[in-house]
Amino acid sequence: MLVYRFGVWSKNRRFRPWRWFTSGLYVLMNLLVQGGTGIVLERDTKLGDGFHIIHPGLLHVHPHATIGERVAVMHNVTIGTNMSADCPTIGDDVFIGCGASVLGGITIGDGARIAANTLVISDVPAGAVAMGVPAQIYPNMDRLRKRKKKTPSVSAEARVQES
């Protein structure tokens, strides 16, 4: 993420020689990161605040993909194109499990969950869970995520007093 942020910063420099120097430094650092970690995250990618990689390694994000805020991505994930120039748009608060592939000009809704080893080639609505190859969509999973109110349990002391 540090190299990505440095790349975005260097791209926005106004003084041309300084932009040229910092962009060259970015390219060198990016090659080292790609070779060492397997993470390909170009500075042209639009990332929201709070984007984080849970287990770094073997992550490829297309430069024209758009990723929302607070998106969590695990290792061995591909976010890119599928035989066309269109790239995915991922909403806020999305989780993408390890080994998942999100391909094509699709939209992943806010709060969606992509299971591990899932191939997503169609839209996923907000709050849904996608799993399988190709992905099966299970909508309205938000109601399962909400915690039920706990009923007050009888304590051990109250049980002893009743006896």
Cis? peptide before 134, omega within 30° of 0: yes
6-35: average pLDDT: 87
pLDDT over threshold 90, residue 110: yes
- CATH superfamily label, 39-145: Hexapeptide repeat proteins (2.160.10.10)
92-113: average pLDDT: 94
pLDDT over threshold 90, residue 146: no
**Which residue ranges make up each domain of the chain?**
1-37, 39-145
With CA atoms as reference, report the closest residue to 135 among 93, 92, 106.
Answer: 106
pLDDT over threshold 70, residue 27: yes
Mean predicted lDDT score pLDDT of the chain: 86
Per the structure block, which two tokens stand in for 19? 């932009």
Per the structure block, which two tokens stand in for 16? 């041309």
Supply the pLDDT for residue 65. 93
pLDDT tens by residue, 39-68: 888 888 899 999 999 888 889 999 999 999
Q: Can you give the pTM of this predicted structure?
A: 0.77
Give the C-alpha separation, 34 to 65, whole Å. 18
Supply the pLDDT for residue 4. 83
- pLDDT tier for residue 159 given thresholds of 50, 70 and 90: low
pLDDT over threshold 60, residue 150: no
Please check whether residue 91 is in contact with residue 112, taking contact to mean a CB–CB distance below 8 angstroms. Answer: yes
Per the structure block, which two tokens stand in for 56? 């770094």
pLDDT over threshold 90, residue 93: yes
In sequence order, the 6+-apart residues with CB closer than 8 A to the CB of 58 are: 38, 39, 75, 76, 77
